[in-house]
Amino acid sequence: MHDFTATGPLLGGALIGLSASLLLLFNGRVAGVSGILGGLLVRKPGDAAWRAAFLAGLLLGGLALVAVHPGAFPPGAGGRSFGLVAAAGLLVGYGARLGNGCTSGHGVCGLSRLSVRSLAATAAFMATAAVTVALGRHVLGAAR
């Protein structure tokens, strides 16, 4: 990690908090991305428009970042094969379903609502991430 500044992460965190707050304020919905996507795939009646708009905003935000800062995302998923990235995405989706929510639903929205279940889920997410990185870097010798 070279030339780290806190400006980008702070701005990103503020925008995530703002979008979650606005969705709750104007739509009465929690900004859990896995739940938003799941509800779109199930096609709940009268519910698809806001879900599609929210997800499109996530994609457009990423595209806007690439347009402004082309080096923000490494080409080719950091040298990983499409199959590996797809398998990882499916595992994340399964884990979000198993945990009744994802990091955005539990970590951002659940913690701000003082949910004990979200606190436990977020602690499990963070502990699993720490173990995965430690194993990947120090046992399997994965690239940093």
Average pLDDT over residues 2-18: 83
Number of domains within the chain: 1
Domain-embedded: residue 132: yes
State the chain's mean pLDDT as an integer.
83
Q: Does residue 122 lie within any of the structural domains? A: yes
Residue 93 domain flag: yes
pTM over 0.75: no
Residue 128: inside a domain: yes
| The 3-state secondary structure of the chain, one letter per residue | CCCCCCHHHHHHHHHHHHHHHHHHHHHCCCCCHHHHHHHHHHCCCCCHHHHHHHHHHHHHHHHHHHHHCHHHCCCHHHHCCHHHHHHHHHHHHHHHHHCCCCHHHHHHHHHHCCCHHHHHHHHHHHHHHHHHHHHHHHHCCCCC
Does 2 fall in a domain? no
- Residue 54 maps to a domain: yes
Q: Which domain holds residue 60?
A: 7-139
pLDDT digits (tens, 9 = 90+) for 105-127: 888 888 888 889 889 988 988 89
Assigned token pair, 18: 């703002």
User: What span, in angstroms and rounded, lies between the C-alpha atoms of 64 and 75?
Assistant: 16
- On whether residue 92 sits in a domain, the answer given is yes
33-52 pLDDT, tens digit per residue, is 888 888 888 877 778 888 89
Nearest to 81 by CA among 93, 71, 89: 89
How does pLDDT run across 62-107, given as a tens digit for each residue? 889 889 988 777 666 566 777 887 888 888 888 887 878 777 788 8
What's the rounded mean pLDDT across residues 12-37?
85
Residue 1 falls inside a structural domain = no
